[in-house]
């Protein structure tokens, strides 16, 4: 079963090609590819045009010279442990071969029946069984310190899902951290499903109030529906405190990057407000830029709050 495979503490190897792995993988799995992307395509073409036997012969020819390196990489990651979990796309020949080879060298392996495809069905199914889930949404105007409060809640034993951390994005037009890359939408779903699998769904779970999109990542339908039905706890914080929090987060960002982010919401800011933001940034007056931007973000969030009936307020 997928749940048993996920619950195992053993290191997990994804033996698919890098492009498959990057599109989506089981959280925590290490890519140990049997084929490169081009080699996988070559074997696939041979299978379609010349049949399974020819494709297998080609695969053996490609893999043979790489076995010593494959074993070395596996042992490097295992760091002295002698057992591992393995999966490929359908639980077929790639995972079967790597499992046989590692077993032959003295290691112990467990393969996932149905492979990554089975895991994806399992992951997507998690979002269809959320009736009655006790979500608590933590909301508040931009800069209220919601992420920090979520961290404190977790440290105090509360169940927390940090959607922005899973998406590698802080949720606004300025949310992508310079130098970082967001996961694919598929991988974001995998990470969220994996978090749900580890939590007790009969007990409250804290989540930050988010829009459907977190950067380029989309919150799955079932989970977002549960968020819309959840009780909202709104953090109240003074304007000056919010400006301070935001400056602490974005103060080290390059001005050029902040200018580019401002351009993304030019139409919504309006020409005059955009001009004010640009001038403040170019004059290295981040507090003035933040104050101007908050006029836009506050109005947007205030409008969203008017549609919520089940909300309460606390002061941070």
Residue 316 and residue 311: Cα distance in Å, rounded? 16
DSSP H or E run through 109: strand 108-111
Our answer to whether residue 88 is catalytic in this structure is yes
How remote is the C-alpha of 228 from its chain's centroid? 20
Task: Return d(Cα 195, Cα 14) in angstroms, integer.
Answer: 19
The owner of tokens 């407000």 is 273
Residue whose structure tokens are 């494959």: 70
Contact 311, 234 (CB under 8 A): yes
Q: What is 217-241 written as a DSSP string?
A: EE--HHHHHHHHHSEEEEEE--HHH
User: What is the number of other CB atoms lying within 10 angstroms of the CB of residue 155?
Assistant: 9
Catalytic residue among 12, 88, 217, 261: 88
Q: Give 108-113 contacts, CB < 8 A, sequence gap 24+.
A: 108/82, 108/83, 108/84, 109/83, 109/84, 109/85, 110/5, 110/8, 110/10, 110/83, 110/84, 110/85, 110/86, 111/85, 111/86, 111/87, 112/2, 112/5, 112/85, 112/86, 112/87
Which residues are catalytically annotated? 88
């Amino acid at each position: 079963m997928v749940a048993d495979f996920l619950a195992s503490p053993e290191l997990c190897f994804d033996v698919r090609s890098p492009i498959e792995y990057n599109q989506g993988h089981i959280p925590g799995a290490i890519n140990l590819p049997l084929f490169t992307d081009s080699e996988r395509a070559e074997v696939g073409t041979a299978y379609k045009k010349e049949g399974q036997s020819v494709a297998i012969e080609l695969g053996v020819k490609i893999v043979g010279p790489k076995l010593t390196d494959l074993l070395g990489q596996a042992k490097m990651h295992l760091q002295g442990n002698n057992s591992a979990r393995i999966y490929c796309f359908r639980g077929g020949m790639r995972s079967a071969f790597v499992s046989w080879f590692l077993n032959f060298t003295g290691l112990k392996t467990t393969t996932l029946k149905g492979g990554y495809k089975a895991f994806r069905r399992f992951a997507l199914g998690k979002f269809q069984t959320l009736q009655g889930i006790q979500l608590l949404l933590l909301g508040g105007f931009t800069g209220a310190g919601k992420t920090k409060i979520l961290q404190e809640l977790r440290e105090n034993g509360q169940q927390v899902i940090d959607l922005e951390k899973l998406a590698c994005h802080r949720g606004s037009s300025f949310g992508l951290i310079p130098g970082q890359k967001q996961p694919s939408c598929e991988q974001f779903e995998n990470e969220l499903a994996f978090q749900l699998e580890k939590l007790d769904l009969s007990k409250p779970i804290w989540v930050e109030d988010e829009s459907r999109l977190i950067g380029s990542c989309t919150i799955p339908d079932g989970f977002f529906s549960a968020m819309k039905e959840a009780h909202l706890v709104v953090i109240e914080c003074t304007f000056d405190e919010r400006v301070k929090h935001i400056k602490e987060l974005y103060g080290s960002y390059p001005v050029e990057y902040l200018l580019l982010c401002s351009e993304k919401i030019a139409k919504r800011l309006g020409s005059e407000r955009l001009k004010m933001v640009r001038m403040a940034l170019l004059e290295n007056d981040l507090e003035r830029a933040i104050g101007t931007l908050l006029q836009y973000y506050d109005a947007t969030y205030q409008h969203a709050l008017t549609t919520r009936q089940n909300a309460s307020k606390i002061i941070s």
